[in-house]
Amino acid sequence: MPEKIKPRTLKGFRDYPPATMIPREWIIETARRVYRSYGFCPMDTPSLEHLEILLGNGSEETDKQLYRFEDHGGRSVGLRFDLTVPLARFVAQHIQELGTPYKRYQIANVWRGENTQRGRYREFMQCDFDTIGTTSLSADIEMILVINDLLSALHVGEFTIHVNHRGILNGLLEKLDLSNKANSVLRALDKLEKIGEDRVRKELAETAEATSDQADQLLALTALAGSNEAMLAEAETLTAGNETGELGVAQLREALAAVSAALSPEAQDALPPEAQNRIQFAPSVCRGLDYYTGIVLETTLDELPSIGSVASGGRYDNLADLYTKQQLPGVGASLGLDRLLAALEELGRLEQTSTTAQVFIPYFAADRRNDYLKLATHLREAGIAVEFYPEAKKLGKQLQYANRRGFRIALVIGDDEFDAGECQVKDLTTGNSKTVAYTNHATALIAEIQSILAK
């Protein structure tokens, strides 16, 4: 007899049992609903791309993290490391049929062979939305509004959307004659919160050959504090005389004003004081990927900022240039589903359930199976999810199963109850029970169940 194989998962990968998968699917469904409410349409791309499509389109780091190999046809291929680069290839290939502006969302897995960390795995899911084919600031403003609506709909608690404009930093780099070292500077500054100012200074000197004075001005920009308008005014001073920097400040100021105008006064007044300024200018946010060109954003949970950004993105006007001569500017963002799940789990915000049904029907009377099935059908027709236990066992064991799975309601009904046209409705959260009339169409029973579920 062959030796048994030890069941195990690869490092950086994970299984998703029902207790994890149920909230995961709820987040996906919520993201779809919010994206669709803005007119974004679903699309998908293959997990595998020609290697040349992926290389050089993220950063040196993502190039190193690529899962790459030779397929059976001898082609060099790689697993996608994000959803934006395949999108650029897709629109360059199909834009004549799609037309512009093209608004899409895509919810799919990506792979990066990086060191695992809290909330980050080597296979993880991104929930992207993008607008392709317009340079209008309206699309950038909409990106911020979508992230605000999405995280509000997910009930994650208070959060902050940190926004910046790559033109502000690029303008300062031009003033400092460091434009040819932009990628090195961006990667160093992107690590500021992780490694601290001293190590960033060292990296700026080593990789970007920045002088002490140049590093001072770069770090002065990232260290700005105060109100949005006060910081924008200081950024305006730092970039004064440089067209790129001045345009970046002007566009960001316009975008922040537009977002504030778009959010209804009633909605803003209903927020607690700490949430009324949740969209903040953050000069230190520059996003490590090379393809961003305009407004960029990162979103953190106020109760757990240490877990990092749970939603990020920005404008990328040149990404499709490698594939087509047609100008295809784009802007979009992504919800990091797995990191958000890890955060909600750590904060105790995930409902502990392993069932997708609300109501549990024990198999109590062995010869009444068809009656139980008929009852379950009536409830499902009323929009109530029901699980009927498949075996006639002791009631106590079946109720233990129901509690372990996290059902809200159990319907206890045996021979006597069927004959009397009654059903015992047990609220498994409170332990309370109530006898309710049960007829062929279960009208009173359905009303009682809906009343409990609505609480």
C-alpha to C-alpha distance for 376 and 357, rounded to whole angstroms: 11
In a domain, 300, yes or no: yes
- Which tokens sit at 445? 């029973």
Q: Is 133 left (phi over 0), alpha (psi -120 to 50) or beta?
A: left
Q: Are residues 266 and 371 in the same domain?
A: no
In a domain, 304, yes or no: yes
Q: Are residues 435 and 312 in the same domain?
A: no
Q: Are residues 168 and 204 in the same domain?
A: yes
In a domain, 226, yes or no: yes
Q: Are residues 78 and 213 in the same domain?
A: yes
- Gyration radius of the chain's alpha carbons: 27
Length of the chain: 455
In a domain, 59, yes or no: yes
Q: Are residues 340 and 373 in the same domain?
A: no
Q: Are residues 341 and 440 in the same domain?
A: no
Residue 111 phi/psi, 5° resolution? -135, 135
Which pLDDT value is given to residue 294? 93
Domain count, the chain: 2
- Which tokens sit at 43? 């699309």
Q: Are residues 377 and 312 in the same domain?
A: no
Adjacent-strand bridge partners of 102 = 132
- Which tokens sit at 336? 């990091």
User: Could you tell me the end-to-end alpha-carbon distance of the chain, in angstroms, rounded to an integer?
Assistant: 56
Last residue of a domain, one of 346, 381, 414: 346
Q: Are residues 70 and 178 in the same domain?
A: yes
Which pLDDT value is given to residue 275? 52
In a domain, 292, yes or no: yes
Cβ atoms of 131 and 142 within 8 Å: the answer is yes
For residue 262, give every residue at least 6 positions away whose Cβ sits within 8 Å of its Cβ, in sequence order, or none.
Answer: 141, 145
C-alpha to C-alpha distance for 220 and 284, rounded to whole angstroms: 10
Strand order in the sheet with 41-42: 41-42, 102-111, 123-132, 330-336, 311-316, 295-301, 159-165, 279-281
Last residue of a domain, one of 285, 311, 346: 346
Which pLDDT value is given to residue 288? 56
CATH code for the domain of 294: 3.30.930.10
Which pLDDT value is given to residue 115? 82
Dmax (CA) of the chain: 89
Last residue of a domain, one of 288, 317, 346: 346
CATH code for the domain of 390: 3.40.50.800
Q: Are residues 227 and 287 in the same domain?
A: yes
Domain housing 415: 359-454
For residue 311, give every residue at least 6 positions away whose Cβ sits within 8 Å of its Cβ, in sequence order, or none.
Answer: 147, 150, 151, 161, 297, 298, 299, 333, 334, 335, 336, 340
Closest CA to 201 of 180, 179, 223: 223
For residue 104, how many C-alpha atoms fall within 13 Å in the half-sphere facing its CB? 22
In a domain, 208, yes or no: yes
Which pLDDT value is given to residue 318? 85
Q: Are residues 275 and 363 in the same domain?
A: no
C-alpha to C-alpha distance for 110 and 108, rounded to whole angstroms: 7
pLDDT per 10-residue tile (average), the chain, 455 residues: 90 89 94 98 96 80 88 94 91 92 96 80 93 96 97 94 93 90 82 86 89 90 91 93 94 95 69 68 76 91 92 89 87 93 88 89 95 94 96 95 95 93 93 88 90 90
In a domain, 351, yes or no: no
For 218, other C-beta atoms within 10 Å of its C-beta total: 24
- Which tokens sit at 390? 């498949």
Q: Are residues 135 and 23 in the same domain?
A: yes
- Which tokens sit at 286? 């520059």
Closest CA to 88 of 56, 111, 120: 56
Adjacent-strand bridge partners of 434 = 425
Q: Residue by residue, what is the 3-state secondary structure of the chain?
A: CCCCCCCCCCCCCCCCCHHHHHHHHHHHHHHHHHHHHCCCEECCCCCEEEHHHHCCCCCHHHHHHCCEEECCCCCEEEECCCCHHHHHHHHHHHHHHHCCCEEEEEEEEEECCCCCECCECCEEEEEEEEEECCCCHHHHHHHHHHHHHHHHHCCCCCEEEEEEEHHHHHHHHHHCCCHHHHHHHHHHHCCHHHHCHHHHHHHHHHHCCCCHHHHHHHHHHHCCCCCHHHHHHHHHHHCCCCHHHHHHHHHHHHHHHHHHHHCCHHHHHHCCHHHCCCEEECCCCCCCCCCCCCEEEEEEECCCHHHCCCEEEEEECCHHHHCCCCCCCEEEEEEEHHHHHHHHHHCCCCCCCCCCCCEEECCCCCCCHHHHHHHHHHHHHCCCCEEECCCCCCHHHHHHHHHHHCCCEEEECCHHHHHHCEEEEEECCCCCEEEEECCCCCHHHHHHHHHHHHC
In a domain, 435, yes or no: yes
Q: Are residues 190 and 57 in the same domain?
A: yes
